[in-house]
A and B are shown apart, each in its own frame.
Chain A
Amino acid sequence: MKVSVIIDGQMVQIEQGAPIIDAAKKAGIFIPTLCYHEALKPYGSCCLCIVEVIQDGQRRLVTSCNFPAAVGMEIFTNTARVRQSRRMIVELLLVRCPDVPLLQTMAKQMGTGLSRFKTREANECILCGLCVRFCEEVVGVGAIGLANRGVDREVATPFKMASDVCIGCGSCTYICPTGCIKMVSDRKTPNLRSLKMGNCSLVPCPNSYQCETCQIEQEFFKDIKRVIAEFRSKGQ
């Protein structure tokens, strides 16, 4: 069933229950995101996509990547409160990852060059979970996961041991918005490539990346290549 919602004054029709970011896309309104990706289930962790919504007389901030559209909803994507909150998110992320260019650019766009918080960490991972979810949902492997709680949360392989299920497809390196996971050359592996990331090392393909002769990999790759191509064509 289609419902009409009003987004920044424009009336848009979208599927009932679809995330309201879809309405924004239809209306041609840009909403910044970090943990959202079309090929993946919504996750709602970065909160950068927040918008202000009036529903049943209540006005509140919601994450547009997963908040379901409903009849009579009014959405505002660029109010002072929205801008302020987004700026705060980027500021907080800059404390965690001061050297990530993407965040620096975002901060500049939002008019907040420097973070007012003085601490500085040397992390590159913003914990958006894209790599983990892509590996699980699209590649179907689940070589990496989000381990620990709270401040100790991190992307890691189980027990931080070299993963024996990673197929070395490199999807995570493509999807990572901060360049935290990299493909590096590794003299010890047959094909001279391996993945390196802060705290997990991924074991290279047992088949020496002879993907052409490997049935399973071929199947995987067809899908991954398509998604990655799509992902890149979206201007990343």
Chain B
Amino acid sequence: MGAIYVLWLRELKRYARSRVQVVASLGQPLLYLIALGYGLSPVFRRGGEGNYLEFVAPGVIAMTVLFSSLFSGIQLIWDRQFGFLKETLVAPVPRLHIMIGRTCGAASTALIQGLLVAAVAVVAGFRPAAASGLPLAFAFLALIAVVFTAVGTTVGSTLRDMQGFQMVMNLLVMPIFFLSSALFPLDHLPGFLVVLTRIDPLTYGVDGLRGALIARGHFSAVLDLAVMGVLAVALTALGAWRFARIEV
């Protein structure tokens, strides 16, 4: 247990020390909120769907967590290249604990990043419908973080070099984001998009988040929670299995 804690703490320390990157990484979500939230709002309103900023803010917050947690896998490759991974793997600690500590750390930083963007969204004019939904919203953000950190760990344990990792991630991240419910409502979609959005895990994360924040979920919160919960467990198990097979 001690190992999980110290490895978690390590990720947080490193995150806290990269303030410049943290601030810089808020730029893109801010742009999405302003350009999409305000730019598309008139059209969205004319379509009878209400305030687009309100609709898209949960999607942008989820996007931040998605990017941050997926790309956390690069830290694994980095640690392997620079040798620190060996130091942890030779310690008298089960590998599973090492993996869990790293995952918790990476997921926590992704979550913090999401909360920062949530704060930015509030500054930009976003207001959650009711404070009572916030704990559930937090739970959905945490689930998104765990699910995609596990994907990052799986890919990072499997590939050795950074270029390969970047390539796979770029292949994954854009479809996951754009083919989810982050940017558009799930009703009245053409058939193929109905299929694509429903096989995208992020759809359920964003939907749950939106339900909790502005009471506009498409599915029930229970379904969203169930899908994300099962995925979190299954993908973390997959990540642990890949991590156990790393040779340094």
Q: A and B bound? A: no
Q: Chain A residues in contact with chain B, CB under 8 A?
A: none
